[in-house]
Amino acid sequence: MRIQFASCSDYTEYHPDDAILAAELESRGHECELVQWRSHTPQSGDCILIRTTWDYYANFAEFSAWLDAIDAAGAKVLNSTEIIRWNADKQYLIDLDTHGHDVISTAVLDNVGQLHGVVLSCGTEECVVKPTRSANAFQTLRFPAQEIEEAQNVAQSIIDTGALPMVQPFLPEVTSEGEWSLIGFGGEYSHAVLKTPKAGDFRVQHDYGGTVSAQEPPPQAMAAAQRLFDSLKLPYMRVDGVVHWGQFLLMELELIEPELFLRFAPGSEARFADELERAFNGEEYGAPLRRNPDC
């Protein structure tokens, strides 16, 4: 089997995690190839693994057209184009909430005038505003609930680009305890890491000075993540959240191009490779958990 690792133009070599996975797959007799999605033409028979397409949100119309081309060619892609389209808009958090999963409170704004009322309803000292389609803390602002002028400007800027802003309460545990990432393959838990921001910041991403360590997650996180693994049963998933007042709250469900932190969990590359072999050979998986199943 020839497996194409889809990436962006910033990556001309494998990401460290992908290098580990490619080596495992090649040891099993598969061929691996790194391709840049923006210059890739899908062909019938392709086996495409979405990995570091980390510029997709800034070029979503082009990315969506590429997904259309994958479907038209009859190529295989993981995760599925249906799952990718659903997960590309953070309103999926509202979908998950309606299906009974514990999700951070999320409100999507149609106009800036709604911001004041939404912030009041959060009932927290600080809130966060960001686009419903973004990654790596793009256009993300943490702001005091009593000082919304800057947040209004950010929200309007998001709307001006044709996107929608969303507002969430800021959970102080992000800075005091860190954010958990739990990774699963084929509906089974594999491993977890704890991501912590640098002093004085709230963003846990490496680009902003955040750090990562392999940790055993608390039972609340394990239980919540397993419910999601069971509900969707996908080839790969990453569940991001925090324990807030003893309850694990989902902040992001990463199903498109998540960093899977394989290098922090020896043996995880074999578990992932096992699932990829099953998936590309026709294993059936779950569908999006939509508010209206008919939409």
Cα angle at 41 between 277 and 11, to 5 degrees? Answer: 75
- Please list the residues that pair with 85 across neighbouring strands: none
Q: How buried is 226 (Cβ within 10 angstroms: 0-12 exposed, 13-18 middle, 19+ buried)? A: middle
Question: Following DSSP, what letter does each residue of 124-185 receive, concatenated?
Answer: SSEEEEEESS--TTTT-EEEETT--HHHHHHHHHHHHTT--EEEEE--THHHHT-EEEEEEE
Sheet containing 141-144, strands listed edge to edge, beginning at the edge strand earlier in sequence: 107-108, 165-169, 126-131, 141-144
Token look-up 């790596």 returns: 136
pLDDT of 95-142, one tens digit each?
999 999 999 999 999 999 999 999 999 888 999 999 998 776 677 899
State the DSSP code for 265.
S
pTM, entire model: 0.94
Structural domains of the chain, with CATH: 2-87 (3.40.50.20), 92-100+173-261 (3.30.470.20), 107-169 (3.30.1490)
Whole-angstrom distance, CA of residue 230 vs CA of residue 232: 6
* Angstrom distance (rounded) from CA 213 to CA 223: 20
Cα separation, 273 vs 244, in Å, equals: 34
Count CB-CB contacts under 10 A for residue 83.
22
Strand partners, 50: 6
Separation of alpha carbons 202 and 208, rounded Å: 9
* Mean pLDDT of each 10-residue bin along the chain, 295 residues long: 95 95 98 97 97 93 97 98 97 97 96 93 91 79 92 94 92 92 98 90 73 95 98 97 96 97 98 98 95 61
State the DSSP H helix or E strand holding residue 10, giving kind and residue range, or none if neither: none
Q: What six digits make up the tokens of 142?
A: 């943490």
Model pLDDT, residue 137? 63
Over residues 20-42, the pLDDT tens digits come to 999 999 999 999 999 999 999 99
Please tell me the predicted confidence (pLDDT) of residue 295. 45
